[in-house]
Chain A
Amino acid sequence: MNATQPQTPALSVHNLSVSYESNPVLRSIAFSVEPGLLVGIIGPNGAGKSTLLKATLGLIRIDNGQVRVFDQPIDAVRRRVAYVPQTGAVDWDFPVTVLDVVLMGRSTELRWKLWPGARDREKAFAALERVGMADYSRRHIRRLSGGQQQRVFLARALCQGADLMLLDEPFAGVDAATERAIFNLIDALTNEGRTVIVVNHDLSILSRFDRVVMVNQRLIAFGPPEVVVNEDNLKLTYGGRLSLLDRAEAALRPEEVVKA
């Protein structure tokens, strides 16, 4: 090992392709993130942003390519990776309290100990304290506002003690004050050396990220916002798909090829 060797990337994606029922969702995505950075993933609806997170977590089958987390396959480092799904994907009528949800983050630490103990509760309360939700620990999750729900999910990721955090639209349905609070928390986390990757809809806050991944099925650009966020790239990201490539995909479907 010599000193000039670059740090192990927190996340590296090589030539990643994913499809749902033979419709391509992601095509040949490649980028690599150094530890301690705040990364924003942006793109229009259906661009494959959430799919990119799920592929990173090994939750969906990938067609091609490779994802490595801290230079290892995801299954080897699950304990170091926290995931915050979109709040819309959750059943808010499920009979659990705020504390129950936060304790779920301890699942990776519990291993053969099946019930969370006093230490896990301590960690959960500390995490709730950090997101300013300690007073709500016994409340049912239905009785929270959108911003509070997000903060509870963040607390769950926090009490997992992960080094890489993947957040799917944490700013959706959140008021300005909560957005500020979440950003402050994320900044604190990256200052501690953690890597935070955020799927994000709001283009007005791009300058706050260290790196931006602009994606629309394909990787349009990856780099510091001041370099890659420009009119051309935004047009490519949001201005519809690259139609010739779409037509090429269509021409390569089995029924088309066999007909020809």
Chain B
Amino acid sequence: MTLTLASTIAEWSQWSRPFTSEWWLTAACAALVGTACGILGCFVVLRRMALIGDALSHAVLPGVVIAFLLMAHFGIDVASPTGVVGLMAGALVAGLTTSVLVSVVSRQSRSKEDSAIGIVFTALFAVGVILISFLPRGTHFDLKCFLFGDFLAVGAADFVMLLIVTAVVVASTAVLYHPLKVVSFDPTLAAALGLPVMLVHYVMMGVLSATVVAGLTTAGVVMVVAMVITPASAAYHLTNRLWVMLVLAAIFGAVSGVVGMSLAFVFNAPTGPMMVVIASGIFAMAALFSPSHGLVFDRLRRRRMSRHFAGEDVLKAVYRLGEMGQPTDVPGVAQAAGLSLGRTHTLAEALGREALLKVVNGELSLTQAGRQRASEMVRAHRLWESYLASQTAVGYDSLHDQAERLEHAHTLSDELSRELGDPTLDPQGKPIPPASG
């Protein structure tokens, strides 16, 4: 009994491990990292700079280590406000150096930009790792924490730093929304309009470096990259408006931050990876289930379209078979429409529910509405054949196949007919039905 109670309490305390003062601090930090990264990420994603974001975050290492070395030399405490500013300055210099070096290498050498990015960031990261061994004895620099984040190391200084960085990101995006939109949409046009395109680019790189450093202990550099790219990409799937994308990305970033952080508390797992797993989950959901750009609804729309087309093919087959006095049972219609028996049967039932078709003793017959729709199809088919024959050099054999696809665009029939001078016969001499009511 006592044992169960103890273990229950232990279990419960695992889940209540969040909501401690420690949790509040780290969760706030995670939310801020997510917000800042989400907003910046929108521009990174839209400008196709994901790779350079990756480069930037790694290349910040030498900047941070050199700042460490310098401050150790001058006896400045890294955790003090001056120390924090020093680290930030180191990161900014490193970030800007990266983006300048990348453009220099890709422009002045034979290497293309992706190679240039790969060369520059690994070189700078390597220098950073080597420099760590030059740190004075007793200095604590945890590379693992730098790479993956460590919530135990998150302190009040991180919170203040993140608060400032996030405020800068949010405020500057709000104020510079319009010019940022122009520069991101079409840099060439922006330059033609006299906007400072390069300045915007470097300021953005600078702010991104600052965000990476600020989020360092919370998420770690490797994971910060994902926090930049993933929530913004998820938002990109859900909207066609830039401001909506910015808001969504900020929310997704903050949510992945807080939820990831809390789960890390519960399972005693590293924070950065937890946040990224949540963000990736959100991305997967958006990519699959976005109503406008998601895979699932896209598939559904395609299936509905092909069902719609097949239904129209069935109506047309019944109409044409009736025209020629041939049997309109399911096998006959299936063959004429080029569909399987089962499919034809299902379609016939569905069309029956739409009151376009009747099935009596296995024979399919068109209702008034069905006849009208079928005659529209035949009209479109024959008009398209006439159009293709008169306007293009399409061979006689493939006229029918092409018209078979185009006939589903029967809303254009009237325009088509006018263009052709309202013909009454198609190229094979078959009558073109007149426009219905």
Residue of B nearest to A59 (CB): B191
In this complex, what residue of B is CB-closest to A57?
Answer: B192
Which of A90, A100, A107, A160 is packed against the most chain B CB atoms within 10 Å?
A107
Are B242 and A78 interface neighbours, CB within 8 A?
Answer: no
Q: Which of A59, A79, A90, A114 contacts B179 (CB 8 A)?
A: A114
Additional pairs, 14, CB under 8 Å, beyond known A104-B186, A104-B193: A54-B188, A57-B191, A85-B189, A89-B186, A89-B188, A91-B186, A94-B185, A105-B193, A107-B193, A107-B194, A107-B195, A114-B176, A114-B177, A114-B178
CA distance A83 to B240 in the complex (A): 25
| Contact, CB under 8 Å: A100 / B181 | yes
- Tell me if A95 is interfacial: C-beta within 8 Å of chain B: yes
Residues of B within 8 A of A121 (CB): none
Contact residues in A for B241 (Cβ distance below 8 Å): 95-97
Q: Are B193 and A78 within 8 A (Cβ)?
A: yes
Asked if B284 CB lies within 8 Å of chain A CBs, one says: no
B interface residues (Cβ-Cβ under 8 A, vs A): 46, 175-179, 181-182, 184-186, 188-195, 236, 239-242, 244-245
Task: Tell me, rounded to whole Å, the shortest Cβ–Cβ distance linking A134 to chain B.
Answer: 19
B178-A95 in contact (CB<8A):
no
For the complex, give the distance between the alpha carbons of A44 and B40 in Å: 42
By beta carbon, the residue of chain A nearest B188 is A85
* Contacting residues, chain A, for B236 (C-beta < 8 A): 95
B389 to chain A, nearest CB (A): 20
A101→B188 contact, CB < 8 A: no
Bound Cα distance A79, B190 (Å): 12
Q: Which residue in B185, B192, B194 is a CB contact (below 8 Å) of A96?
A: B185
Nearest to B180 among chain A residues (CB) is: A114
Contact partner, A95, options B190, B191, B194, B240, Cβ 8 Å: B240
Q: Are B177 and A95 in contact (CB under 8 A)?
A: no
Chain B interface, >50% SS class: helix
* Sample (26) of A-B pairs whose CB atoms are under 8 Å apart: A54-B188, A57-B192, A59-B188, A59-B191, A78-B193, A78-B194, A83-B192, A90-B185, A90-B186, A91-B46, A91-B185, A91-B186, A94-B184, A94-B185, A95-B239, A95-B240, A96-B181, A97-B240, A100-B242, A107-B179, A107-B193, A110-B178, A114-B178, A114-B179, A115-B178, A142-B240
User: Which residues of the other chain, A, contact B179 by a CB distance below 8 angstroms?
Assistant: 107, 114
Residues of A within 8 A of B (CB): 54, 57, 59, 75, 78-79, 81, 83, 85, 89-91, 94-97, 100-101, 103-105, 107-108, 110, 114-116, 140, 142, 160
Assess whether B46 is in contact with A94, with CB atoms less than 8 Å apart.
yes
Q: Are A107 and B190 in touch, CB under 8 angstroms?
A: yes
Task: State whether A75 touches B194 (Cβ < 8 A).
Answer: yes
Q: Closest CB of chain B to A82's CB: distance in Å? A: 8
CB distance from A176 to the nearest CB of B (A): 11
Cα distance, A114 to B181, chains bound together (Å):
11
A115 and B242 contact, Cβ closer than 8 Å, known pairs A57-B192, A90-B186, A91-B185: no
- CA separation between A116 and B178, bound complex, in Å? 8
Contacting pair B242 A59 (CB below 8 A): no
Closest to B245 in A: A95
Which A residues lie within 8 Å of B240 (CB)? 95-97, 140, 142
Report which of B175, B182, B244 forms a contact with A107, defined as CB distance below 8 A. Answer: B182
Residues of chain A lying within 8 A (CB to CB) of residue B192: 57, 59, 78, 81, 83
With both beta carbons as reference points, the residue of chain B lying nearest to A89 in the complex is identified as: B188
**Chain A residues with CB under 8 A of B178:** 103, 107, 110, 114-116
Report chain B residues within 8 Å CB of A115.
177-178
Q: Tell me which residues across on chain A come within 8 A of B239, comparing CB atoms.
A: 95
Closest beta carbon of chain A to B294's beta carbon, Å: 14
- Nearest A-chain residue to B48, judged by Cβ: A91
Point out the residues of chain A lying under 8 angstroms from B176, CB to CB. 114
